[in-house]
């Protein structure tokens, strides 16, 4: 199996760092890249092929993914909210994608189990209503993971200091999905 990993937002935050914690300066683009690269190592060690691209161009990301022969697509992000209390983990899949939903469930479960974050559940993005570009425009089962809230103090600490655990959970979610696919479908 091959996984296309897309850490969210622009490399080095230029021009778009994604969400930023105003107190600590922690940037979403840096967390996403660190977790994506570490997940890549875990996946490679488990015999899963990977390709990783962080880019400010969503068009480039989808085009590269679609010509990559990847079986699944995983975009990695951090959530943010005005209200500092908002916290937890959620994973998005595209409406109508059965396997995308399966993959989202696998990754969501592993993250919540490993990090003990609030389980905000798997969310469905419907093209034309609340679609997410990278989910709508990729050809393979695709998910967008919101690891935790960079704007919440407790979650921020995890995003800063538990990147290896976050990456391991994402990787195990992918291998859980692989087992499900090989096992019965
Ligand atoms: Zn983001």
Query: What's the CA gap between 103 and 97, in Å, rounded?
Result: 10
Query: What's the CA gap between 178 and 103, in Å, rounded?
Result: 9
| Residue 102 Cα to ligand 1 middle (Å) | 22
Chain center to CA of 54 = 12
Taking only the tens place, the pLDDT of each residue in 96-148 is 999 999 999 999 999 999 999 999 999 999 999 999 999 999 999 999 999 99
Ion ligand 1 — residues with CB under 5 Å?
8, 18, 77
| Residue 68 Cα to ligand 1 middle (Å) | 23
| Residue 87 Cα to ligand 1 middle (Å) | 15
The answer, as to whether pTM is greater than 0.85, is: yes
| Residue 19 Cα to ligand 1 middle (Å) | 7
| Residue 47 Cα to ligand 1 middle (Å) | 28
Average pLDDT of span 70-80: 98
């Amino acid at each position: 199996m091959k996984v296309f990993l897309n850490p969210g937002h622009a490399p080095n935050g230029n021009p778009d760092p994604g969400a930023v914690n105003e107190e600590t300066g922690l940037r979403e683009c840096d967390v996403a890249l660190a977790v994506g690269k570490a997940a890549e190592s875990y996946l490679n060690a488990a015999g899963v092929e990977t390709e990783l691209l962080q880019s400010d161009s969503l068009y480039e990301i989808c085009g590269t993914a679609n010509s990559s022969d990847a079986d699944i697509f995983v975009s990695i992000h951090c959530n943010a909210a005005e209200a500092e209390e908002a916290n937890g983990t959620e994973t998005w899949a595209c409406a109508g994608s059965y396997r995308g939903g399966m993959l989202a469930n696998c990754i969501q479960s592993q993250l919540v189990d490993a990090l003990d974050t609030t389980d905000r559940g798997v969310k469905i993005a419907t093209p034309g209503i609340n679609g997410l570009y990278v989910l709508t425009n990729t050809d393979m089962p695709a998910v967008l993971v919101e690891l935790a809230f960079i704007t919440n103090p407790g979650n921020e600490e995890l995003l800063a200091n538990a990147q290896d655990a976050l990456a391991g959970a994402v990787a195990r979610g992918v291998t859980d999905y692989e087992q499900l696919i090989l096992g019965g479908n």
